[in-house]
Amino acid sequence: MTQRRRKLPAPEEVVAAIVALADDGYCRRGELARRFPRLGERDLRRAVRRAVAQGLVLERRGPDGAWHVAVSSEGWNLRRSG
């Protein structure tokens, strides 16, 4: 029996979640899991990577070794325009 894949959130939804968590700063990628409770870790990483590939989100490894995400200027422009 195969497992049905959940639909990934749109990159705009990922940007909105980061804005809600950290506004114009960085937040841990793991904190986004609370905004998308039905997504597994792998699907969350895929959704974030899709937003990164479109240039809407920045992803960096922090000094603590954890991944952190923030909204890029392109993400802010998209958020303001609609």
Tokens of 61: 């490894």
Q: Which two tokens stand for residue 12?
A: 């705009």
What pLDDT is recorded for position 4?
A: 66
pLDDT in tens, the chain (82 residues): 666 667 899 999 999 999 999 999 999 999 999 999 999 999 999 999 999 999 999 999 999 999 999 999 999 999 998 7
Question: Would you tell me how many other CB atoms lie within 10 Å of the CB of residue 32?
Answer: 22
The position carrying tokens 């195969």 is 2
Fold of the domain built from segment(s) 11-81: Arc Repressor Mutant, subunit A (1.10.10)
Give the predicted TM-score (pTM) of the model.
Answer: 0.88
Per DSSP (E only), the strands in the chain are 27-28, 57-61, 67-71
